[in-house]
Amino acid sequence: MSNGWRWIVDGFRLFRRQPLIWILLLGALMLIGLVSTLLQPVGPLAISLLTPVFIAGLMNACLTTDRGGEPDIGHLFSAFRGHAAPLVTIGGVYLVGNIVAVGVVLMGAGNEALQVVLSRTRNEAAMAQALRDLSSGLLTGTLVFMPVLMAVWFAPLLVVFRGMTPVAAMKSSLQACWRNLLPFTLYGAAIVVLWLIASIPLMLGLVVLLPVMACSVYTAYKDLYGEVEAPAAGDSTA
């Protein structure tokens, strides 16, 4: 179970090798995400589909860093070369899973609960019931979404590093996450705590935490799947 915490520690060690570059990489990704929200309604849909492509690019950067090389901003876009189609397919599954989960939350909570929470004229009893309905809906939606999240967690890495098809990659990722449910539970709980701590000083701690989180996905993959054999795109050390 302690493996979950070790993934984060190893992720921090990887980040510490090239901290400025990693901050730049995550900053660029956040900027892309921010710009996408301004391009309604196409932008948010596009970024959802392309997120696994960018994640795979970050994993290429992790591999380059792990090998002693120096990643650059080009790594963020490296997975577009040769892997875009299968990674976008994974993004499509993730997008559909999000939509289904939100639908489950809304059905479980009901429109009345949302109206009560948003209403300016509400009594305590109605508010309490509405919050209970919302909590129930959120719990159900989370249970529905978790298998989707587990299926896509390692899928981009398996596509890029092992050449798997999207279906095979998502199946393998789901199995790996399920077999290591306790470490992932500790990992998730630790990330939540670290996120709260990092958010206290005007969210400045996220400048470090976000790159560490990205690196921890790579270190978790190495722990569960073994050493990465495929060369990273743009890796001059390969």
pLDDT tens column, 18-64: 999 999 999 999 999 999 988 888 888 899 999 999 999 999 999 99
Of the pLDDT bands very low, low, confident and very high (cuts 50, 70, 90), residue 109 is: low
> Three-state SS for 234?
coil
With a CB cutoff of 8 Å and minimum separation 6, the contacts of 79 are 53, 54, 56, 57, 60, 87, 156, 160, 233
Of the pLDDT bands very low, low, confident and very high (cuts 50, 70, 90), residue 237 is: very low
Inter-CA distances, 134 with 95, 104, 107, 128, 131, Å: 22, 11, 10, 10, 5
Residue with tokens 């795979």, as numbered in its chain? 56
Mean pLDDT of 97-116: 71
Task: Kindly list the domain boundaries of the chain, sorted by start residue.
Answer: 3-225
Question: Which residue in 17, 139, 2 sits closest to 71, CA to CA?
Answer: 17
Inter-CA distances, 216 with 99, 211, 235, Å: 27, 9, 20
Exposed/middle/buried for residue 138 (C-beta within 10 Å: 0-12, 13-18, 19+): middle
pLDDT in tens, 133-191: 677 777 777 888 899 999 999 999 999 999 999 999 999 999 999 999 999 999 999 99
